[in-house]
Every structure is written in structure tokens, then in C-alpha cells.
Amino acid sequence: MDKFIITGGKKLEGRVRVSGAKNASLALMPATLLASGVSKLNFTPALNDVYTMIKLLNQLGVETNFNDDFLLTLDTKNITSQTAPYEHVKKMRASVYVLGPLLAKYGFAKVSLPGGCAWGPRPINLHIEGLKKLGAEIELEQGYIIAKSDRLHGAKINFDKPSVGATGNILMAACLAKGTTVINNAAMEPEITNLVQLLINMGAKINGINTSILEIEGVDTLQPAEVNTIPDRIEAGTLLVAAAITKGKITIEGGIDSHLYSVLSKLEDTNAKIFISENEITIDATDIDIQSVDVTTGVFPGYPTDMQAQWIAYMSAAKGVSTVTDTVYLDRFSHVSELTRLGAEITVQDNSAIIKGVPKLKGAKVMSTDLRASASLVLAGLAAEGTTEVLRVYHLDRGYEKLENKLKQLGAEIERVSTSEF
Ligand code: UD1
């Protein structure tokens, strides 16, 4: 087990390249199951959730090759199983993305139910109801979803609320259904748009890209294809907040500003300056007085829930009082009690955190509880006086590609150390 040891107080400075988006890759990889043959995914990030998806796909019979240039090739010619076992799904909820493609292509899929997660129940009812509308027979047996259909058919699907995962699953399944499917109130996250791009490259007929109404005209077969994975907006956002909380100045190479508009605009409200040029985002927070700024999370293009924990860490070092409300995941506040160990003054009421900025956070030993919670602890540690130890960084490694190396490149004092502490 690894931990980070951070000596806080160094201003981040310099340039850093953002990796491919984890949440895009986790949808793009299973989408390749819809065709038979070799598909290519460029800029796939080398992080643990991607390795977990590779293992799951390998178990289904997909042959993979992940090279040093972040090109992931997937050969789906010899699929031997349509079952995603509990061992994989419990590690990573996104494993449920194999459900739609396996069902649509092979007429059968058996996928473990994901269960809850560190921040409360995360249902998949929208995935199941949507697939049923496409004509799937679905039963739940011994913790598994068993889905069958000779040939899915098009349908009109309306989501009561937009869900990234359900949009992705139904979209993939509908590409091989007979007839036209309309998904109303579809998620518009850039990762869904990236998935649509791959599906179109595979021969799918999809209208409404980048909108909340997707219209899919089913085809009989899809071909293997290639796509570029978009840059990770959450990694980029995390690095920008790291610069802001340390009052430094950095340039992110490869970030797409339109994917990050809500975060960039909130950063500007705190007094940081943002400069956009082609494929680069610069933040200059040199010696700013960090102004408290309220944030409410929402679906894209709203402020991302995956940047909520990082914002709470940032506001802990701001002047004044701010409120951070999560409307997507109402219980996602496990980082708060750990941040208070670093001297932060935060109270949680319902789905809001009220943060009273303190003049100085103080280093301490803290424990990661989930992926973005870990990122918030690292950010707070970078700003804190003295040494912060962040335990259980395996949570962080699920979704960031060697974050400590990127931070070191920007001048942070951060070391990964192997430990028996848990
Ligand atoms: C994805 C992201 C995750 C991010 C989340 C919200 C991936 C791999 N993960 O997760 O990092 O935090 O989007 O941006 O892309 N819901 C239902 N029923 C369902 C599905 C979802 O009620 O069947 C609810 C959820 O509880 C939540 C909301 O819808 O309140 C949005 O969840 P969703 O967009 O589905 O999240 P994920 O796709 O699981």
C-alpha cells in the first residue's frame, strides 16, 4: 500500500500535460465490443480503472495491447464470454458499461449489480428501464443482471434525470437495434460526445451530438474504428486548483476550456486570472487573496460533482465563508472529516458543506476515502504548513495517472512511499 508525504507551502509553477479522460476511456473501451476486429483508442490514460476495464474485457475474450504512447488496441474478434463477474464490477462501477454492447451484439449479457459506493447508493434503474424499452428481457438473479434479446428494437426513452452511465449504455445498445431510438434528456458530458464520435466512426447513425436529445438509427453491423480520447477535464481542473491553492501560476497543455467553463469561471471569481490559448489553459494565482466562492454541482455544463471535493479544499484556504452544494450525489462528503484534520473549518448540512476559510491549513496524517476525496486531501496538503501524509492513495490511482509526478514537475514536494499503514 502506498501513501504520499507532502511538504506544503510550495507555489506550483510551470507546464504540465493533461492525460486522456478516464471517464471517456471507460465508455470507449466497452463500445469496441459492438464490432468484431481491431479498434484503436488513442490517448488512453494509464491509470488503474483503465487496467481494471482491460482485465474485464480480457476475461470476455478481448485481446488488448496498451503501448507506451497511450495507444490501446482492442481485438474483439473472439469473444468467449458475456459475463461481467462481481469481482470486477465491485472494484469499478463503470464495468456496467459492458451490459449494453454485449446485449446488443450477442443477445445476452450477465453483469453483476454494482451495489453501493463510498458516497451512498448509486442505482442503475435508468440503465435497466432503458434496455427494457429497447425490448430486452431482464431478470435479477443472485446479484446479477441477466439480459436477453434476439434483436433489440428502437424506442423513445425519456430520462427523468440525465445520467452519464445510462445514456452511454442505451446509446451503445441502440446503435445495433432495429429502428430508431430517441434518448430525451440525455447526458451532455463531453465523455458522452467522445463516445458518440467513436460510435459514428464505427458506422453508427446518430443525430444530436452535443445535445440532450440523441436520435439513433440502428444498423445491422458496426466496424472496428479509431478515436482520440478527449483530455481529462477533471484532472485538468484538479491541477488548476492545485495552482490556485498554492498561489502559483501554471499552464495546462491539452486542456479544452469549453469542457471546463464552469470551473474556470469559478476560479476567476476567487481572484485567479485565466488565460486561454490554443489547447492551453494558464492560471495565474500568484499571491492572490483567495476569495470565497459558492459552488453548486450540476450535470454538464454545470459545475462537475467530480470537482466538488477539490473546491471544498480550496475554499478551506480562502477568505470568508462559502457554501458548496452537491445536487448530483447528496452524500458525497467523506473528505470533510479528513480535511478538518488539516485545520479546515467545515460543517455539513444536508447536501451542502459550509466552509469557513482559515488563514493556514496545518499538515497532518489523513486517509483517502474515495477518488476525488483523495485529490482534495492532496490539494490541502500542498497548501498546508508542514508535512501531510495521505494514506490509501490507491483510491487516487484509480483515476489519476501518477498525479505525484505531475505535481513534482510543477515544483511540489510530494513523495510516494510504500507503507504497511492502512
Ligand atoms: C459518471 C462518472 C462519475 C461522475 C458522475 C456524475 C463515469 C465512469 N463516472 O458516473 O465520475 O461522478 O457521472 O457526473 O463516467 N442515477 C439514477 N439511476 C441510474 C443512474 C444514475 O438515479 O440508473 C442518478 C445517480 O444516483 C446520480 C445521477 O443519476 O444522482 C447521475 O449519475 P450518473 O450520471 O449516472 O453517474 P455515473 O454514470 O455512475
Give the pLDDT confidence of 14-27 residue by residue, as tens digits.
999 999 999 999 99
CA distances 329 to 31, 50, 333, 350, 351, Å, are 26, 23, 9, 11, 8
**What is the model's pLDDT at position 120?**
58
Judged by DSSP in three states, 347 sits in strand
CA-angle at 391, arms to 385 and 395, nearest 5°? 120
Mean pLDDT to the nearest integer, 286-307: 98
Nearest CA to ligand 1 atom 1: 164
The answer to whether residues 333 and 353 touch, using CB atoms and an 8 Å cutoff, is: yes
CA 154 – ligand 1 centroid, Å? 23
Mean pLDDT to the nearest integer, 248-257: 96
CA 162 – ligand 1 centroid, Å? 8
Pocket test for ligand 1, best of 56, 161, 164, 306 (most atoms within 8 A of CB): 164
Pocket test for ligand 1, best of 328, 329, 400 (most atoms within 8 A of CB): 328
pLDDT at 117 over 60: no
Among residues 46, 79, 113, 117, the one annotated as catalytic is 117
- Any catalytic annotation for residue 117? yes
Q: Which atom of ligand 1 is nearest to the CA of 121?
A: 26
pLDDT at 328 over 60: yes
Mean pLDDT to the nearest integer, 110-134: 83
pTM for the whole structure? 0.97
Q: In angstroms, rounded to a whole number, what is the distance separating the alpha carbons of residues 282 and 15?
A: 9
- The band of 51, judged by pLDDT with boundaries at 50, 70 and 90, is very high
Q: Which residues contact ligand 1 via a Cβ below 6 A? A: 23, 26, 93-94, 122-127, 161, 163-166, 187, 191, 305-306, 328-329
Pocket test for ligand 1, best of 163, 170, 310, 370 (most atoms within 8 A of CB): 163
| Pairs from 288-291 (Cβ < 8 Å, separation ≥ 24) | 288/244, 288/247, 289/319, 290/244, 290/245, 290/247, 290/314, 290/317, 290/318, 290/319, 290/357, 291/318, 291/319, 291/320
Contacts of 74 (CB under 8 A, 6+ apart): 29, 32, 38, 39, 40, 41, 57, 62, 63, 64
**What is the model's pLDDT at position 306?**
98
**What is the model's pLDDT at position 122?**
72
Q: In angstroms, rounded to a whole number, what is the distance separating the alpha carbons of residues 282 and 287?
A: 15
CA 10 – ligand 1 centroid, Å? 35
